[in-house]
Every structure is written in structure tokens, then in C-alpha cells.
């Protein structure tokens, strides 16, 4: 489809706010936390300027309440949105289960920020990945454009499978850095994302219901299975929605793992979020220097793109998993997932974990080059030096 995008120079946070506006969200409940605050400030500005109709902002006293308010609004049939970061997301944790369990398609932007202590406001994925098992879908954005596109797609996917979704962007690297974002004219967004059709609503007074009832051992199990079934369905829906988005707006998101120059690659760098922009740039540099490398950017972490990872792993000799996160007592979280997927398959490339960029530490093209040298040596030797490499550690 030919259309004229509206180009704006915005921060990642403003991109999120515009996407929420264009998605015609009806209820926003949020509590300010660095570096998420400017998302909510921008939405408040839309309201005070009269730029949005039919949007109720609910000021709350904590993130736990923010999610509770979104749950109430969503159960009543509204399109609900919120945003948070780090400790705020941790405080919401309990409520995240209520949202997915009640099958409410709430969309939330999490601005990835390191968990304290030490107190930190910089980028780190451990906050969102710690919510892995809450039944929320997770989309990781590489740049401001993907924050905007991600929010619109997340609503569509969420409302199709009736599960909530998180769109994740990195603290400061995206949240406060300005870039050109191509926004979509409202009437086309409306076409892509029609009004929500809720599974049920609390405001259907002819059919009163209770949500969140007590479930005994005889029934609880079946509802867990239903969530997993919806997650599994989401894989198909994500690809369809990503394809439709591409056909309508020119940016194709049908791959749950975006592959960059992987076709003839000996080994690939796999990771999520903004650091993959750096990796792609490094891949170009390394290719010039004769390395046959590629990048595999995991866009959706939940549901996890198992089949796509398997296809990738069949065709490469090595995978360097770059984790800007850590699960204490084990290893990087993406690494853990990737190894788990490949165990019962016939694809067993050498797979190594590099812990990078925790708490906002710089991760540069030069770092990727060093990792490439290390990976090359490992593949030539045919064995790992260490499985989990604390890459930046001062030794």
C-alpha cells in the first residue's frame, strides 16, 4: 500500500506515547519512574491539549495499582495501556499474572532498566526477563521505529489471542535518544487496528460474571493449559500480523527472529533489543574483513520462536548469544532458552554466552569484533573455552 508517512524526530518514549495515541487507547494508568516518565508525560500532554478523545488517565499511587487499574479497565472492555521500568515492573509482578490469567490484552511498554542495588537507571534486560513466566508476550525493540511499530502490533496480537503484551525498549539508548520515526496516518492505523472486541466484559449487565474466581485442583490446571495454547497460537498470529503490517506500511515483521546476513554465515550473534543495532553494524564491518558472520535478532521472546531458532541453528557452526541480562546461579537468560530449545533437536552448533552491557555498560562495534575473534577460534578448535563469558569484567 502506498501511503505518506508522518515523519517525526522523537525519542523512543515519545514514539511509544504516539503509538498509544494512534492505537486509540481508552485507559492509561501509570506511575512515573525513570526512564519511563516521559511516555506518560507525553500522553498527559495529548490529553491536556485535547488531542485525544475518549482517553481516561488514571493517576495511581504505585505500579501495582497501575496494573490493577488497567486490569479493571480491560475487563470492562477498554483498550488499556501503561508503561514502567525496573523496580516499578517488579512491583507490578503479582498483577501481571492477574492480567494474563483473566486473558486481558493490556499492552505495556517496559523501558529496560537495571535492577537495584546498586541503584541504576541504565539499560539492562533483567527486569523484563524476570517477568518471563507471567503469561505476558514480550517484544524487544531495536530502535525508536520498532517501539512505535511494536506497540501497534502488540495491541493487534494481544487482542487476537487475548493475552497481554509487553513492548520493551532500552533505557536512554532508546528512551531518551531522538531519531526519525515514520508514523502512520490515523485512518490507516484504524484500518490496521480496529476497535477491540473483548472476550467478555464486566459491563455487560445482562450477563453478569465474576472474574478471578477461586479455582480448585480440579479446574486450575485446564486454565493454565489454555494460556499456553493462546501463547502457541500467538506464534502464528504474530507472523500474520507482522506480514500484514509489512504489506500496509512497508516494514515487515513476519520473522520472530530477524535474520541479518545469515544466509552463508559460519556463525551468528544472537541477542535482543537495541544492542542488535550495534551488532548489525559490526557484522557489516566484519564481512568487509572476511568474516562470514550474521546477526539474529530475537524480536519476540515470549512466545519463544523455537522453530525459527532451530532453522537458524541447522545452518550455522556457532551461535554467540549476547545477553544484557543474567539469571543468577545459571547463565544469561536468552542463552538458557536457546540451549533448551536445541537440546532435543539435531542442530547442535557451538553455542556460547557473552554477558554484555549490564547496567548500561557500553557495548560497541569493537566489542563485537573481539567476540567474533573469540568465536572463530572456538569453532576452529571445536570446543568451548568457557560457556558463560563475563565479557566486560575488569580482570
Partner 1 sequence: MNTLFGEKKEGATKIVLKSVDEYPDAPITLGTTLINFTGDWRTFIPVVNNDKCVKCYICWKFCPEPAIYIREDGYVGIDYDYCKGCGICANECPTKAITMEKEEK
Q: Which residues bind partner 1 (CB under 8 A)?
A: 101-103, 162, 199-200, 204, 207-216, 218-219, 222-223, 225-226, 230
Shortest Cβ 200–partner 1 spacing (Å): 5
Residue 227 Cβ, how far from partner 1 at the closest point, in Å?
A: 9
CA distance 368 to 203: 53
- In three-state secondary structure terms, 194 is coil
| Minimum distance of partner 1 from residue 83's CB (angstroms) | 25
Shortest Å, Cβ 211 to partner 1: 6
Helix axes 220-249, 144-161, angle to 10 degrees: 130
CB nearer to partner 1: give 101 or 360.
Answer: 101
Toward partner 1, which CB reaches closer, 101 or 349? 101
In which element (H, E) is residue 233 found? helix 220-249
CB 198, CB 209: distance < 8 Å: no
Distance, in Å, from the CA atom of 185 to the CA atom of 57, rounded to the nearest integer, reads: 23
DSSP structure class, residue 177: -
Q: Estimate the crossing angle of helix 220-249 against helix 86-101, to 10 degrees.
A: 110
User: Count of alpha carbons within 13 Å of 306, Cβ hemisphere only?
Assistant: 12
Burial class from Cβ neighbours inside 10 Å (0-12, 13-18, 19+) for residue 37 reads: middle
Q: In angstroms, give the least distance from the CB of 106 to partner 1.
A: 13
> 219 — phi, psi (to 5°)?
-125, -25
Nearest distance, CB of residue 101 and partner 1, angstroms: 7
Q: Which C-beta is closer to partner 1: that of 118 or that of 216?
A: 216
**What DSSP string describes 11-58?**
EHHHHHHHHHHHTT-SEEEE---TTTHHHHHHHHHHHHTT--SS-EEE
CB of 224 to partner 1, least distance (A): 10
Of residues 7 and 226, the one with the C-beta less far from partner 1:
226
- 198 or 357: CB nearest partner 1: 198
Query: Cβ closer to partner 1: 210 or 393?
Result: 210
| CB closer to partner 1, 211 vs 379 | 211
Per-residue cell: 203: 459491563
Amino acid at each position: 500500500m502506498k501511503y505518506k508517512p508522518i515523519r517525526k524526530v522523537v525519542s523512543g518514549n515519545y514514539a511509544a506515547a504516539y503509538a498509544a495515541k494512534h492505537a486509540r487507547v481508552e485507559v492509561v494508568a501509570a506511575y512515573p519512574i525513570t526512564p519511563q516518565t516521559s511516555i506518560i508525560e507525553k500522553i498527559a500532554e495529548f490529553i491536556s491539549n485535547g488531542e485525544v478523545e475518549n482517553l481516561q488517565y488514571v493517576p495511581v499511587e504505585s505500579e501495582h495499582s497501575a496494573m490493577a487499574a488497567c486490569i479493571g479497565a480491560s475487563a470492562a472492555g477498554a483498550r488499556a495501556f501503561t508503561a514502567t521500568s525496573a523496580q516499578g515492573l517488579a512491583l507490578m509482578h503479582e498483577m501481571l499474572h492477574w492480567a494474563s490469567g483473566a486473558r486481558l490484552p493490556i499492552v505495556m511498554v517496559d523501558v529496560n532498566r537495571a535492577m537495584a542495588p546498586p541503584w541504576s537507571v541504565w539499560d539492562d534486560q533483567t527486569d523484563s526477563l524476570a517477568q518471563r513466566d507471567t503469561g505476558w508476550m514480550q517484544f524487544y525493540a531495536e530502535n525508536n521505529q520498532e517501539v512505535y511499530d511494536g506497540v501497534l502490533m502488540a495491541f493487534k496480537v494481544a487482542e487476537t489471542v487475548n493475552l497481554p503484551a509487553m513492548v520493551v525498549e532500552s533505557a536512554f539508548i532508546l528512551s531518551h535518544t531522538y531519531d526519525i520515526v515514520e508514523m502512520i496516518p490515523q485512518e490507516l492505523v484504524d484500518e490496521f487496528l480496529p476497535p477491540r472486541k473483548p472476550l467478555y466484559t464486566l459491563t455487560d449487565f445482562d450477563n453478569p460474571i465474576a472474574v478471578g474466581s477461586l479455582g480448585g485442583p480440579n479446574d486450575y490446571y485446564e486454565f493454565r493449559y489454555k494460556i499456553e495454547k493462546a501463547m502457541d497460537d500467538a506464534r502464528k498470529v504474530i507472523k500474520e500480523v507482522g506480514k500484514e503490517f509489512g504489506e500496509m506500511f512497508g516494514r515487515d515483521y513476519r520473522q520472530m527472529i530477524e535474520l541479518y546476513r545469515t544466509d552463508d554465515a559460519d556463525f551468528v550473534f544472537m541477542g535482543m533489543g537495541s544492542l542488535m543495532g550495534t551488532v548489525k553494524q559490526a557484522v557489516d564491518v566484519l564481512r568487509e574483513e572476511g568474516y562470514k558472520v550474521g546477526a539474529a535478532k530475537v524480536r519476540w521472546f515470549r512466545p519463544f520462536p523455537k522453530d525459527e531458532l532451530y532453522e537458524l541453528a541447522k545452518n550455522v557452526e556457532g551461535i554467540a548469544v549476547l545477553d544484557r541480562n543474567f539469571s543468577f546461579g545459571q547463565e544469561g537468560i536468552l542463552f538458557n532458552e536457546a540451549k533448551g530449545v536445541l537440546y532435543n533437536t539435531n542442530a547442535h552448533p557451538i553455542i556460547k554466552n557473552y554477558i554484555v552491557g549490564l547496567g548500561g555498560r557500553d557495548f560497541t562495534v569493537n566489542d563485537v569484533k573481539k567476540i567474533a575473534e573469540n568465536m572463530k577460534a572456538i569453532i576452529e578448535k571445536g570446543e568451548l573455552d568457557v560457556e558463560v563469558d563475563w565479557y566486560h569484567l575488569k580482570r
